[in-house]
């Protein structure tokens, strides 16, 4: 997934990678009350407390050249108690072990991309992005799908990856404890959402992409963030999505500014859809979608991702964090650590850079590692020889949650 290498994010960020018990359909269920007074987010920070550790060394551990960590790290405990950590790419692999701190690579592919040339099938190059399971045997997974027009005959006159890129979110499932993943229903019925415009050659990039973790919200429904890249303008916003039935890809609703009433329309079949609304744009910006979790110490949700802010008179890029009690009202993002990103280094093709931060706590009691306590690890991908190289390691640094004293 190469889109991150094209991003230019500023304060007005823009573009230049379970078996939940089904309940009644959200379209007929009133949205929970969200206008009541909500306790403000805590004034807190994430502080790095130790050196970088290598989790996956591509040069030594890769099963094949394309076995790379190309999306934010996700992990879960399966029904046998094993921890599975996904190394997500268009061909998927995993690491397995008794604990998050002791994992080894499994070289059996979990999924392979279909590379369907029909954009209306939403089944081209696929990354399993956000697994969610309640029993460890059936795992539903939100998939980041890239329709890569430049790889299909007649679909991209320019031959340019970015200009012919249309992204969508879709639903996959594993019914064998994470040993394999496939569309939850036959494509294109596995479609969750995208932008309301159909694929158009040399009009990209655009689409819905890079979902966060799926977490349980204050009302018991499931939530995730996703990045929306609008057609034509390439304006980027963060959208908050909600569902009461993860088994149904059509059940997701997006926040429209007052309630979770926004619906996704398959743009290859129907015209007239609308675009999801930005949430807390001033506070969290437009790209803090990599990691969503709940901190039990602060009783607050935590967003972690890539961003920039002006600090001491200069623009500082790196990993940032924001906090919320209700998933709608967020604290102003705070820098965790300044990092070299593909679009901030001198030579993005060769210079070391990082991407895809994700917060994971080895001691989490949650099957999906969706909770943290006072400490955790920040996992991320290190591009050792530039973003154009496959030499990418998965690394982590220890972090601690610190509450302001005032």
Per residue in 363-398, pLDDT (tens digit) is 999 999 999 999 999 999 999 999 889 999 999 999
Q: What is the DSSP string of 163-190?
A: GGEEEEEEEEEESSTTS--EESSSTTTT
Asked if the model's pLDDT at residue 114 lies above 60, the reply is yes
Helix %, strand %, coil % for the chain, to 5? Answer: 5, 40, 50
**Residue 9: predicted pLDDT:** 31
**Residue 349: predicted pLDDT:** 87
pTM exceeds 0.75 for this model? yes
Burial 158-194 (b: 16+ CB within 10 A, else e): eeebbbbbbbbbbbbbbeebbebbebbbebbebbbbb
Contact 194, 262 (CB under 8 A): no
**Residue 52: predicted pLDDT:** 97
- For the chain, list the domains and their CATH numbers: 3-21+35-403 (2.115.10.20)
Asked if the model's pLDDT at residue 35 lies above 50, the reply is no
**Residue 405: predicted pLDDT:** 79
Residues 245-262: what's their mean pLDDT?
Answer: 97
Contact 105, 121 (CB under 8 A): no
**Residue 51: predicted pLDDT:** 98
pLDDT band with cut points at 50, 70 and 90 for residue 127: very high
**pLDDT tens-digit profile of 153-201?**
999 999 999 999 999 999 999 999 999 999 999 999 999 999 999 999 9
**pLDDT tens-digit profile of 53-110?**
999 999 999 999 999 999 999 999 999 999 999 999 999 999 999 999 999 999 999 9
Percent of the chain with pLDDT over 90: 85
Contact 183, 170 (CB under 8 A): yes
**Residue 39: predicted pLDDT:** 87
C-alpha–C-alpha distance, residues 241 and 289, integer Å: 12
C-alpha–C-alpha distance, residues 61 and 221, integer Å: 38
| Alpha carbon 384 to chain centroid, angstroms | 22
**Residue 153: predicted pLDDT:** 97
C-alpha–C-alpha distance, residues 42 and 59, integer Å: 41
C-alpha–C-alpha distance, residues 74 and 320, integer Å: 18
Which 3-state string (H, E, C) describes 239-282? EEEEECCCCCHHHCEEECCCCEEECCCCCCCCCCCCCCCCCCHH
């Amino acid at each position: 997934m190469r889109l991150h290498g094209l991003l230019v994010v500023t304060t007005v960020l823009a573009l230049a990678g379970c078996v939940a018990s089904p309940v009644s359909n959200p379209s007929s269920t009133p949205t929970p009350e969200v206008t009541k007074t909500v306790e403000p987010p805590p004034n807190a920070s994430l502080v790095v407390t130790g050196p970088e550790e290598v989790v996956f060394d591509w040069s030594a551990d890769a099963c094949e050249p394309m076995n790379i960590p190309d999306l934010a790290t996700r992990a879960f405990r399966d029904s046998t108690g094993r921890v599975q950590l996904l190394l997500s790419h268009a061909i998927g692999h995993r690491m397995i072990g008794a604990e998050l701190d002791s994992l080894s690579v499994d070289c059996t592919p979990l999924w392979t991309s279909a590379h369907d040339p029909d954009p209306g099938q939403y089944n081209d190059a696929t990354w399993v992005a956000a697994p969610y399971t309640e029993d460890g045997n059936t795992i539903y997974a939100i998939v980041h799908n890239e329709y890569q027009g430049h790889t299909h005959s007649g679909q991209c006159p320019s031959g340019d990856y970015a200009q012919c890129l249309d992204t969508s979110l879709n639903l996959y499932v594993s019914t064998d404890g994470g040993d394999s993943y496939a569309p939850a229903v036959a494509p294109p019925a596995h479609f969750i959402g995208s932008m309301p415009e159909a694929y158009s050659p040399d009009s990209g990039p655009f689409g819905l992409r890079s979902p966060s973790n799926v977490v349980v919200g204050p009302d018991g429904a499931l939530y995730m963030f996703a990045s929306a890249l609008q057609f034509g303008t390439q304006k980027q916003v963060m959208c908050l999505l909600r569902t009461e039935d993860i088994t149904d890809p059509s059940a997701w609703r997006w926040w429209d500014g007052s309630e979770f009433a926004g619906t996704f329309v398959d743009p290859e079949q129907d015209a007239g859809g609308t675009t999801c609304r930005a949430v807390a744009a001033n506070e969290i910006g437009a790209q803090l979608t990599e990691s969503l979790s709940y901190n039990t110490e602060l009783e607050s949700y935590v967003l972690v991702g890539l961003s920039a802010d002006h600090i001491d008179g200069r623009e500082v890029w790196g990993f940032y964090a924001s906090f919320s009690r209700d998933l709608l009202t967020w604290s102003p993002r705070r820098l965790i650590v300044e990092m070299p990103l593909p679009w901030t280094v001198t030579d993005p093709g060769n210079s070391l850079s990082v991407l895809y931060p994700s917060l994971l706590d080895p001691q989490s009691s949650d099957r999906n590692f969706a909770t943290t306590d006072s400490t955790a690890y920040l996992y991320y991908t290190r591009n050792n020889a530039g973003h154009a190289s496959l030499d990418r390691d998965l690394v982590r640094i220890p972090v601690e949650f610190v509450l302001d004293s005032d």
